[in-house]
Amino acid sequence: MQAMNWISQADNEVAGDFAATPTPVSDAPLLDAYSRAVVSAVEKVAPAVVFIEVTQRSRQREAAGSGSGFVFTPDGFILTNSHVVHGASKITVSFSDGRRFSARLVGDDPGSDLAVIRIDAFGLIAAELGDSKQIRPGQLAIAIGNPYGFQHTVTAGVVSALGRTLRSRSGRLIDDIIQTDAALNPGNSGGPLVGSNGQVIGVNTATILPAQGLCFAIGVNTAKFVAGRLIQDGRIRRAYVGVVGQTQPISRALRRFHDLEQASGTLVISVEPGSPAEQAGLQARDLLVGCDGTPITGVDDLQKLLSESRIGVACIFHLIRATQWLKLPIIPQEALDRVQ
Interatomic CA distance for residues 75 and 55, integer angstroms: 24
Strand, helix or coil for residue 223: helix
Helical H segments across 21-70, by residue range: 28-45
In whole angstroms, give the CA distance from residue 42 to residue 122.
22
- The one catalytic residue among 83, 86, 152, 318: 83
Residue 157: is it exposed, middle or buried by C-beta count within 10 angstroms (0-12/13-18/19+)? middle
CA distance 280 to 137: 46
In the chain, what is the greatest distance between 2 CA atoms, to the nearest angstrom? Answer: 113
* Residues 20, 23, 26: CA angle, nearest 5 degrees: 170
User: Strand locations in 14-146, DSSP E?
Assistant: 49-57, 62-71, 77-80, 90-94, 100-109, 114-119, 140-145
- Contact between 286 and 268 (Cβ < 8 Å): yes
Is residue 318 part of the annotated active site? The answer reads no
Q: Which letter, b or e, does each residue of 168-188 get, where b requires 16 or more Cβ atoms within 10 Å of its Cβ?
A: bebebbbebbbbbbbbbbebb
Q: Which residues are registered as beta bridge partners of 274?
A: none
* Catalytic residue from among 109, 113, 176, 301: 113
Residue 86 is a catalytic residue: no
Residue 189 appears among annotated catalytic residues: yes
Q: Which of 68, 132, 189, 196 is labelled catalytic?
A: 189
Which residues are marked as active site?
83, 113, 189
